[in-house]
Amino acid sequence: MGALAALACCGPAEAVEGRAPVSRFGQQTKFAGCRVRGQLPDPACTPGAIFKEATVSQTCTPGYSRSVRNVPASLKRRVYAEYGIESHAPHSYEVDHLVSLELGGDNSIANLWPEIAPGYHLKDKIENRLHDAVCAGSVGLRLAQREIARDWRHTFVGAPMGT
């Protein structure tokens, strides 16, 4: 199986070369008092979650993200509440998927966080580059998911971009 399989599994929290630890995919361990850490979510509140059945073929099909997107306003309010954000200026935050839908991320609260502007524009570029690499076959889907969840600013597809 090798390194890719090791990264694709959902082991306990881990830190890699100065990166923030990543909890198990979908295993949220904190439900209040969450804090945005600069351009990153609180890993205990937003560890990332994936549609386990998502395949490269599906995620690389045009319209896939639109077909699976389902984040109602009530869930967005829960995300803001977990992060202690009672009110905010328009466009100062965006409830975002840590593991993007285009990389097989799911719509659960474990994958959602209030991303502060202007970070979401930078993260979108990284997501698109990772998606292109997955669809070209140069990066495995599970590896891309782990990289984006670990620290989207420092993935192997051209980081750092968060400055």
Question: Of all helices (H) and strands (E), which one includes residue 113?
Answer: strand 112-116
User: Quick check: 105 and 50 in contact, CB under 8 A?
Assistant: yes
Work out the angle between the directed axes of helices 141-151 and 119-136 (0-180°, nearest 10). 160
pLDDT tens sequence for the chain (163 residues): 222 222 233 333 333 344 444 445 778 999 999 999 988 999 999 999 999 999 999 999 999 999 999 999 999 999 999 999 999 998 899 999 999 999 999 999 999 999 988 777 889 999 999 999 999 999 999 999 999 999 998 887 654 433 3
- Residue ranges covered by each domain of the chain: 23-154
pTM of the model: 0.81
Element (H, E) at 116: strand 112-116
Q: What is the DSSP letter of 95?
A: E
Residue 65 — φ and ψ, nearest 5°?
-55, -45
Which distant-in-sequence residues (6+ apart) come within 8 Å of 34 by Cβ?
41, 42, 44, 45, 46, 82, 83, 84, 113
